Amino acid sequence: MKKHILTLAFALVMLTSLVLMSCCSESYDFVATVKAWKPFENSQGLPGTYGTVLDKYIDNCTWTANKASDTEASVVTKGKLTANGAVRDIQIIATVSITGDSASMRILSGEIDGESFNSNDMAELLIELFAAHNEGYATLDDYFNS
């Protein structure tokens, strides 16, 4: 009888440990973290979130996190960008690093129609997108033609 109670107690402890490990292990939603980011709020006075602005101006926008570790990832945003009447394939890569309760993010690079651009070039384009959003333009064509 004691052997069965010990076996049952051991099984219960193991089951509880497994449940706690699976429920309480930290897992970050890197895409949600990047979408909530406001990269130009302080530097440019443009308060929009990365997700809101890119989802608005990039058609068929997809978001993919490529985890480098439990606390680091690159988030790739892809879709079609229409400006000045031309539709272009666009890809933007942002990096995310989680430390404790905070996240640091930056624009890494991007491509437009297969042509590579560095972080500074992509930041300039993103500032235009955020400005269009901040000024209430429905499309980039409206923004560039105003």
Cβ(105)–Cβ(34) under 8 Å?
A: yes
Stated pTM of the model: 0.80
Cα 54 to chain centroid, rounded: 10
pLDDT-derived band at 100, boundaries 50, 70, 90: confident
Q: Give the number of other CB atoms < 10 A from CB of residue 50.
A: 25
CA separation for the pair 64, 51 (Å, rounded): 12
pLDDT in tens, 27-54: 789 999 999 999 999 999 999 999 999 9
How far is 143 from 53, CA to CA, in rounded Å? 14
Residue pLDDT, tens place only, 103-130? 999 999 999 999 999 999 999 999 999 9
Q: Give 25's pLDDT tier (boundaries 50, 70, 90).
A: very low
